Structure 1
């Protein structure tokens, strides 16, 4: 029985006091590798074309000053998030990306590493970022405060954006599904159609949010070079 509206997202399934819900994050290590046994398989061709497109886009965002191979960090990040998002669309599988702990664990180390690298190697450039070009002298102290705060809250906004978008659709699907047994046959058929439409929407959200997370991380990285 649910104690509150969000208790459906609590990682409560356990065996020998080990949380089993988080195990869905690691299922990919079992499922995905056999798909590459037949090369070039259809899955391999499609996924390779997606990764090549992402590589070109991230390379453009990083610019000529970006380090070689740095796009693979963000491609791996995109792959991990999109896999976990899609795993959550299956019944009885816990969505790890709907928890702040998981999303912050992805966003905070990335942002922290960008900041440490930027302030150590490009200190003058980082100071210049605190005052946008063309700012009047009177507003400079305020702009420094605003830019500093906006920079500090970046990992939080990244994590909250992903968490909120993943939890909202799943919550709506759960609430609509719980009303099914009390509805008549005609209303239940409309409910099934609505659930399918929501599931398609959630599939799109799973891809879009992982893409947004990876692109914003790339943009934050490009600012420190």
Structure 2
């Protein structure tokens, strides 16, 4: 009698116990911390990013992509075999974890992420190490319009924009010469007024992009996201 052997299915890095435990911990912290930070910011008169000082008031908040959006980022990066990724807005590194997991499963490469708050960058490095993904990520500290101005490789496959919305278009234009044809750009919270110039730019076909919008829900609010392809 012949016993047929079946191969064990491959497990995506994003589904491993180590990465899942890190993400679960960070999302639990988000639910505990972010509403309190936002309430304090609102009491001080900071309702949205249109208010000067908003991001400073929100500096202890996680403000991550939703788990569903994180899963989509992983799938998008995996689907195009992304090996060179750029992230504007590390925060505490939740979206970074999704992208780094995709990078691991694509065979390695580099994820360059940038964060303006030093304590967030430091904690993000610890979170990546906890998940076993820190070897794939370079976190640059400072304003993205400076930290990404040089030292980024050609042939960028994937860009995540998730920082100050008014910087989306300047950061994109700075990276634009290094984007490969078919590169994907994901822009979070693109419904905010600061992202208007970016959205108008990528929706104009003559600028060399194809754009699709999707919506996510977090903490009772709906948010727009742009998924953009460089033609």
How would you bin the TM-score normalised by the shorter chain? under 0.3
Higher strand fraction (1 or 2): 2
- TM-score under structure 1 length normalisation: 0.24
Pair member with larger Rg: 1
- TM-score under structure 2 length normalisation: 0.23
Report 1 or 2 for greater relative contact order, CA contacts < 8 Å, sequence distance ≥ 6: 1
Higher helix fraction (1 or 2): 1
